[in-house]
Amino acid sequence: MTAPTATAPERDQPEEPGTGDPATGTTADDAFDQDVLPSPPGATGALLRSLLAPMKPRVALTVLLLLLQQAAVQAGPLLVAYAIDHAVPTLRDDDHGPLIAVGAGYLLCSLAAGALQYGFIAAAARVSQDVLLDLRGRIFRHAQALSVDFHERYTSGRLISRSTTDVESLRELLDEGLQELVTVVLSFVYIAALLLWLDLGLGAVAVASFVPLYALVRLYRRRAGRVYRQRSTAIAAVIVKFVETMNGIRPVRAFRREAANDADFAVLNRRHEHTNGNALLEMARYVTGSRLVANTAVAGIVLWGAYRVADGTLALGVLAAAVLYLRRLYDPIDRLGMFLNSYQSAAASLEKIAGLLAQTPSVPEPTAPKQLPPPASEHPGREVVFDSVSFGYRTGGEVLPRFDLTLPAGQTVAVVGSTGAGKSTLAKLLARFYDPSAGRVLLDGTDLRDLAVPELRRGVVMVTQEAFLFSGTVADNIAIGRPEATREEIERAAKAIGAHDFVAALPDGYDTDVRKRGGRISAGQRQLVAFARALLADPAVLILDEATSSLDVPGERAVQRAMTTVLKGRTAVVIAHRLSTVEIADRVLVMERGRIVEDGTPDELVAGAGRFADLHRAWRDSLA
């Protein structure tokens, strides 16, 4: 039942002008500000139907099992009526037949009820688990297929809660709620039919009592819906505060925020307590109301029935059976309330999930993938061409105005410029994290959009500033670059990048679990692992997006050495704050507000009077 809504701290560093520019960073009506993404009308229902469609035969089987099970269960009072009205009189005439029939019938019904109950629960669980398996898989695959640009806006916390808590609430509905509902409806129908059959008048009164009950259920649904929404908003606020405090525990402690946080949290917690209490009281009202209606109806029916038995127009056994049925008729009403609760929360969750699944990947895989041509020379590098490329977010705002750029095979290109100049966007277009709004990005003449993922990643690999480690060993993490790599190859990559020494010094060397005891790995070391990964992937084009920011000077030098030795001949695009990185570049691009404003060799640019010369001078000064 644990479904931690782990809202991770935001790790990405929005570089793009679209989000980087604080003045335009948020728009009030941005769909991503809401928890629910817009989805076409009826998407929630369509999602549920598409999940259940392949299960049709098994759903039918489940319902059939339940039909039979309820029939077996509801036969009991009927047998009681038969026993009292027929078996007892015939017994007095020494005819044991009817009583034996009653006994055998009861035995059969009990055994059948038990066996069918087993069959029903097992079958229903299979349906529910298969639906969940399908849904989990769909969310996961869809989330993985969506572009990086989507992930940057949707935030990890929401995506995680879609695949955990929201799936969990559907599970509750399927596991408990739906069974409950079908049982309730079926027993309603059965009992009402039986009562009508036993005695039309009594049955009619019982059916009439459904009218006020229905009104009550509707009223509850409306009122509880409101309270539940308030409660889920209140708990969400509690969760955010909680997670934020725990993820930022160091600054909390260092700046003595404990008492202030206690006070803030108390306010949120009390608000939740209040709405929580409201929800519980709403339930109390519903239970009281439905019980009142039900018990009044029982009293009324008994009064009328007893009257008629006294009249002699109704058999005693029929009255007894009717009373037994009535108790059963009204028993599940409380459970109907519970079903409504789980239905409401599951509907809200499904709506959120449908909204997520309705997002189309902005970077789709090709339907007819092409192969890259064999390398033109013995060098592994490939030529990159930006052909009339421009880029803007779907929400509007042009980030990169139309430009053309050719990076010859084997060239190392440094891209510099201030925050928000569009450097990262350029890199992400080349890595096909985004597709250009217009124009094409070509790798040795082939459009990136025509390459299947494995082919694309043999071509282009990007190392970013955030060096995330997956759980598993250090070796596992490096092997992400090429899963089939041997241990020797992994170690060779680590040695080439200067990561071997620290890895070897870990408690279990390459087999050290990065999340376990003693596996503390500093920010700089994580970046080295990320580099080893890229080295192992051995791509034709390597993109480094501020990938050395946490490295110390020797670490950066090791990376640069690797670039001039192991990675020699590859096409490389290096984005860096540090001009030291630029030293190994063959060519420098200076970007400003989405445009390439300077382009030349480092020496040419330093000698000139442009922005790069300024930057370079500032950097030199900082070293002096």
Partner 1 sequence: MPTTPAPAPDLAPEPAPDAAPAAAEHVPAPAGKRSTVRALLRLWPYVRPVRARLGTAAVIAILASCVALVIPLVLKWMVDGPVADGDPAGVWLGALYLLLLGVAEALLFGLRRWLVARPLAGVEAGMRADLYRHLQRLPVAFHDRWASGQLLSRGTTDLMLLRMFLAFPLTFLLVNGVTILVGVGIMLVQDWTLGLVVLVPAIPVMVVCGIFERKYSAVARRAQDQVGDLTTVVEESVLGIRIVKGFGRHRSQARAFHALSHRLRGTELRKARLLASIWAVIVTLPELAIGAALVVGAVRVADGTLSAGTLVAFLSTALALRWPVESIGFLLAMSQEAATATDRYFEVMDAEVESPGNGSCGPAERGPAAERTDGLRFENVRFRYPDAPPGSPPLLTDVDLHIRSGESMALVGATGSGKTTLTALVPRLHEVTGGRITLDGEDITALSREELRAMVAVAFEEPTLFSASVGENVLMGAGEGAGTEELDRALAVAQAGFAHALPEGTGTQVGEQGLSLSGGQRQRLALARAVVGRPRFLVLDDPLSALDVHTEAAVEAALRQVLADTTALIVAHRPSTVLLADRVALLSGGRIAAVGTHHELLRTSAEYARLMSGLDGHEDAAGFQEGDGR
Touching partner 1, residues 68-87 (CB under 8 A): 73, 76-77, 79-80, 83-84, 87
Query: What contacts 524, CB < 8 A, 6 or more positions away?
Result: 550, 551, 552, 555
Using rule CB under 8 A, residue 234 touches partner 1: no
Q: Of 51 and 109, which has the nearer Cβ to partner 1?
A: 109
Per-residue contact string for residues 332-371; x = within reach of partner 1 by CB under 8 A: ----------------------------------------
One of 230, 245, 390, 437 touching partner 1 (CB under 8 A): 245
Using rule CB under 8 A, residue 381 touches partner 1: no
Phi then psi for residue 294, to 5 deg, are: -60, -45
Per-residue contact string for residues 496-535; x = within reach of partner 1 by CB under 8 A: ------x----x-----x-xxxx-xxxxxx--x-x--x--
Phi then psi for residue 481, to 5 deg, are: -60, -40
Query: What contacts 259, CB < 8 A, 6 or more positions away?
Result: none
Using rule CB under 8 A, residue 230 touches partner 1: no
Q: Of 53 and 254, which has the nearer Cβ to partner 1?
A: 254
Are the beta carbons of 358 and 43 closer than 8 angstroms?
yes
Can you tell me the distance from the alpha carbon of 174 to that of 572, in angstroms, rounded to the nearest whole number? 52
- Helix, strand and coil percent figures for the chain, each rounded to 5: 65, 10, 25
Cα 490 → chain centroid? 33
Tokens representing 485?
A: 């790599």
Pick from 331, 297, 65, 70: nearest CA to 193: 70
One of 284, 438, 504, 607 touching partner 1 (CB under 8 A): 284
Using rule CB under 8 A, residue 407 touches partner 1: no
Q: Which stretch binds partner 1 (CB under 8 A): 112-120, 210-218, 343-351, 407-415?
A: 112-120
N-to-C CA span, the chain: 60
DSSP annotation of 281 reads H
CA atoms within 13 A on the CB side of 449: 14
One of 48, 102, 340, 485 touching partner 1 (CB under 8 A): 102
Q: Which stretch binds partner 1 (CB under 8 A): 36-44, 51-59, 291-299, 564-572?
A: 291-299
Using rule CB under 8 A, residue 217 touches partner 1: no
Q: Of 607 and 618, which has the nearer Cβ to partner 1?
A: 618
Neighbours of 494 (CB within 10 A): 26
Q: Of 36 and 111, which has the nearer Cβ to partner 1?
A: 111
Using rule CB under 8 A, residue 327 touches partner 1: yes
Using rule CB under 8 A, residue 3 touches partner 1: yes
Question: Which residues, numbered 432-461, are part of the site for partner 1 (CB under 8 A)?
Answer: 433, 453-454, 456-457, 461
Can you tell me the distance from the alpha carbon of 553 to that of 571, in angstroms, rounded to the nearest whole number? 23
Query: What contacts 203, CB < 8 A, 6 or more positions away?
Result: 192, 193, 194, 195, 196, 197
Pick from 354, 356, 350: nearest CA to 178: 350
Closest CB 41 distance from partner 1, rounded Å:
28
One of 248, 408, 600, 610 touching partner 1 (CB under 8 A): 248
Q: Which stretch binds partner 1 (CB under 8 A): 56-64, 222-230, 372-380, 479-487?
A: 479-487
